[in-house]
Every structure is written in structure tokens, then in C-alpha cells.
Amino acid sequence: MYNLSFIRADFPILSRQVYGRPLVYLDNGATTQKPLCVLDAMRDEYLNVNANVHRGVHYLSQQATDLHEAARETVRAFINARSTNEIVFTRGTTEGINLIASSFCEALMQPGDEVIVSEMEHHSNIVPWQLQAARRGIALKVIPINDRGELLLEEMDALFTPRTRLISIAHVSNVLGTVNPIAEIVRRAHSHGVPVLVDGAQSAPHFQVDMQALDCDFFTFSGHKTYGPTGVGVLYGKEEWLDRLPPYQGGGEMIETVAFEKTTFAALPFKFEAGTPDYIATHGLAKALDYLTRLGMNNIERHEQELTNYCTQQLKAIDGMRLFGEAEHKDAVVSFLLRDIHHLDMGTLLDRLGIAVRTGHHCAQPLMTRLKVSGTVRASFGLYNTREEVDALVEGIRRVETMF
Ligand code: PMP
């Protein structure tokens, strides 16, 4: 049963006021709010359990290790991976992509080899590859999009060459909301023997992601966008691939034996987890994923889809409204510009009405270039948003319009 007033009571921050007005939080694409069960679990662990994991024989350390490893199992089940060996804890999506860019390029790419990305990527799925291009001479190829904000898959097919080594692609665009057909992209890539890395920052919070159904080779997402704490994220990788990749960072936890002559590395997934992990945050993330599972990812998806459709309809009714991203399959994000009102002005004035939206290039400048704009206003929905909040946004936009 999807009861919004019960759900909102789990997020006390949603009841606060800003500038003396009720907060309308529509910046979930940037980060989500945290339910009490996450905050309580983290506070409780600091208060009653805290000890470093994987190291101590003592009671607290074993208890903390159990919580941390139980969190890994919760993540495995949440994304339907085959094994916890495939679940690497990171700092977030950005670190997951950097890890693969670094280790994959080091072990499996030669100068002149190619990585395919798309025109709608977040900077975190562009810049790590550019760093590798500068360091190792790899080349970047880009899948274009159509005017609705959908990938041109025929053009993708034409990008494959014998030097293609990897596709790295967003599951859902943080600007357009486009849900990319990952299973189909994976099928086509695999027919060329090319693995696929999926940036799941904007998909994992919104609908069920199933590693075995998608059959992607790597998948990464952020805890803080998934109702969990900041500072923790997940990198999924098929065991056969992770086994072939060298460590990303060196240090404690990731070794088996160390001598000055030779060091051997720990088994998966620890080979990729140098240093003390944020074990309080992994526990918090597990509680967040449990919370999502209790609500039901299908229910969350249905609710957010209704909000997105409703918001799109309402905005289209405003004269001079330009929407960005009208893909057939889109999710939880509405990007727009009204007449010639600058996105920053719109965002600032909405803020004064208590409405939190994001403005600017959304860390996707190449996409802005494609859209021929310097930025957009973006409302992004979460599981706790309401139709009344969409109404408040629309009314706010109409008020801003009268000021110009
Ligand atoms: N990819 C996409 C599609 C995103 O929306 C974001 C965050 N805006 C990121 C990657 C980066 O996530 P993080 O900053 O949590 O690493």
C-alpha cells in the first residue's frame, strides 16, 4: 500500500519550511532525502557497535564486519547480482566509473583502442575516459541522440570497429529523463564481443534494476541518490571481468600477503576496496535499500511515472514552454525553459517560493551544446513527492512568468 502521508512522515526534512514557506523538494536527481530508518541505523551503529571491520578478533569488530557484509548481500539481492563477489563498495557512481576506466584501460586497452559513450552522458562518464585518452592514447566515440532525446541505435552500430573495447553509457539521463534500452545495447555490444558499463545513478533509485536480466558487465550507482547516505556507492561487475582487472588503489584490506619483494592481492571483491571502507554508510545504504524494497520498486516507479506525466501535461499547458527530453520511455525528470527567462532566474525565484529545483548545465555540457542552450531548469521527482507539489511548481512558474 503506497500511502504518501505515512511515507512523508519517514522524512522529517520534508516538513520543514524555507523562507517561511513549506519546502517543495524537487531536486532528487542531485540527491535524495533520507528516511529515519537509515539515520537511526547509522546512529545506532556509531553508538553501540563502532569498530573497524575485517580486522579485529574482538566482539565489536566482528559485529561491525557482519553488518558491513550483510549490507553487501542486501545490495546483491537489490540488483539481482549472482554473487556478493560482484559487489564492490565505492564512494559513488563517479568512483565506480573511474575505477573501471583506470583498471580496464590499464589491463585491457592499447593506444588507439576505443570506448563508446553517448551524447547525453554526465561529466562523470566523459572526463574519466578523457583522462585515459590523455594518459594511454585511447579514443572516445559518441552515440548521437535525436531531438526527442533518444539514442540513435543505428548510429551506435556504425561506431563499432575492431578496436572497440567498451561501451560506457547512462541507464537514465539526468537531464532528459530518457531511459536507455540497456538490454538491447548490451545484446548488440556482446555480438561484437564488447562489454558494457552502465551508469545507474539515475535508474537504481527509480525502478527495479536486474543485473542478470540486463546482462551488463558493469553497473554503478550512488548511495546518496538512492535514499542512503553520502560517501558510499556500488560498483557491480561480472566476476569474470573483475577477475581480469588490476586493483584500483593499494593499501590495507585489499591484500593477501605483503612483502617488499612481492605482494599478492585479496580475492574479490576486496581486491578493489583499499583502506577502511565507510562501513557505517554501507549499513545505512542497506537500510535504504530495504526501505525501497518494502515500498516496492514497482510501486515507486508507478508513482513517479504518474507525477512525471502529470507535470509534463501541466507544463505543456503553459504558453512559451520548451521541454527537453520527450523520449517514449522516460523517467522522473522534467527539464524545461520558459520563453527567454534565464534558467538561473527561474531557479532563484522558484527557490523564494520554497521550491527547490536544479538549474544550469547539470554536469552535462556536451548535451547542452547539442540542445543549443546554456542550461535548463530541472525538476526531478522522488518516491515522496506529491501531485500538490507539482501544482506548486506549476503555480510558481506562472508567478515567475508574471514578473518578467
Ligand atoms: N551519472 C549521472 C547520470 C548522474 O546524474 C550523477 C549525479 N548527478 C552522476 C553520474 C555522479 O554521481 P555522484 O556524484 O554521486 O558520483
Q: Give all strands (DSSP E) within 111-247, no chain letters.
A: 114-118, 139-143, 164-170, 196-199, 218-222, 233-237
203 lines ligand 1 (CB under 6 A): no
Contacts for 367 with CB less than 8 Å, ≥ 6 apart: 119, 120, 121, 173, 175, 176
Residue whose C-alpha cell is 526501505? 291
Cα–ligand 1 centroid distance for 10 (angstroms): 25
Q: What is the pLDDT of residue 201?
A: 98
C-alpha angle 123/124/130, rounded to 5°?
A: 75
Return the residue whose CA atom lies nearest to atom 8 of ligand 1: 30
C-alpha angle 249/252/258, rounded to 5°?
A: 95
* Domain layout of the chain by residue ranges: 4-26+297-403, 40-294
Three cell numbers written together for 51: 569498530
Q: What's the predicted TM-score (pTM) here?
A: 0.98
93 lines ligand 1 (CB under 6 A): yes
DSSP 49: T
214 lines ligand 1 (CB under 6 A): no
371 lines ligand 1 (CB under 6 A): no
> Ligand 1: which of 126, 169, 179, 225 to mutate, judged by most atoms within 8 Å of the beta carbon?
225
Cα–ligand 1 centroid distance for 305 (angstroms): 21
CA 333 – CA 315 distance, rounded (Å)? 13
124 lines ligand 1 (CB under 6 A): yes
Q: What is the pLDDT of residue 195?
A: 98
Give the domain 40-294 fold. Aspartate Aminotransferase; domain 2 (3.40.640)
Alpha-carbon distances of 272 from 224, 246, 264, rounded to whole Å: 21, 8, 13
Q: What is the pLDDT of residue 55?
A: 80
Q: What is the pLDDT of residue 14?
A: 98
Residues of the chain with pLDDT under 70: none
Cα–ligand 1 centroid distance for 403 (angstroms): 34
Q: What is the pLDDT of residue 283?
A: 98
Q: Is 311 a catalytic residue?
A: no
Q: What is the pLDDT of residue 56?
A: 81
- The β-bridge relationship of strands 196-199 and 164-170 is parallel
90 touches 341 (CB < 8 A): no
Q: So what's the architecture of 4-26+297-403 in CATH?
A: Alpha-Beta Complex (3.90)
Q: What is the pLDDT of residue 1?
A: 73
Q: Which residues pair with 168 in a beta bridge?
A: 197
Helix, strand, coil percentages (3-state) for the chain, rounded to 5, are 45, 20, 40
229 lines ligand 1 (CB under 6 A): no
